[in-house]
Amino acid sequence: MTWQEYSIFLLESIGIYNKDLMLHYYRKIKKFILWHKNKYGVDVKKIPDFTDCKLENQRKAISWRRIARAIEKNDFYLRRLSFAQTKNDDQQLQELIHKWDNLLNDTTRTDDKTLQKIIQENYV
């Protein structure tokens, strides 16, 4: 399986349980790809499966591996793809928490400190 196929698989898997969350990730990833297309001329068909790890970690290269890793890590704000936390994202996250009570709870594993804080505020 390629990293592109894996990224799509992850999105589809999320969509089985929570379509709203899948659409959130899809919109952010679409913006990420369009930004690279406008800035560097990288067409979606030309995005590599992976690039140099150092460049990916420094957020200087686009790759499907980078996209898949962001989804794997439950990076709601997609900071790994150079997005910042926005008020709109915060509002959407609160709506998802209330709509899908099983989406986030005290057993949710995430590296995102802001997300951990929100989980603690709602479930502790």
Three-state SS annotation for 44-80: HHHCCCCCCHHHHHCCCCCCHHHHHHHHHCCCCCCHH
pLDDT of residue 66: 94
pTM confidence score? 0.80
Q: For the chain, what is the domain count?
A: 1
Query: Which is more confidently placed, 96 or 63?
Result: 63
Query: 104: which DSSP letter?
Result: S
Q: Please name which of 118, 121, 26, 117 lies closest in space to residue 70, comparing C-alpha atoms.
A: 26
Whether the pLDDT of residue 85 is over 60: the answer is yes
For residue 55, which of 68, 41, 66 has the smallest C-alpha distance?
A: 66
- Residue numbers of the domain that contains 85: 3-123
**Mean of pLDDT values over 4-13:** 95
User: Could you tell me which residues come within 8 angstroms of residue 56 by beta carbon, excluding any fewer than 6 positions away?
Assistant: 50, 63, 65, 66
In this predicted structure, the answer to whether residue 26 has a pLDDT above a threshold of 80 is yes
C-alpha dihedral sign at 108, 67, 27, 10: negative
Given a cut of 70, whether residue 105 has pLDDT beyond it is: no
Q: Report residue 95's pLDDT band, with 50, 70 and 90 as the boundaries.
A: confident
Confidence of residue 101 (pLDDT cuts 50, 70, 90): low
Cβ-contact 85, 28 below 8 angstroms? no
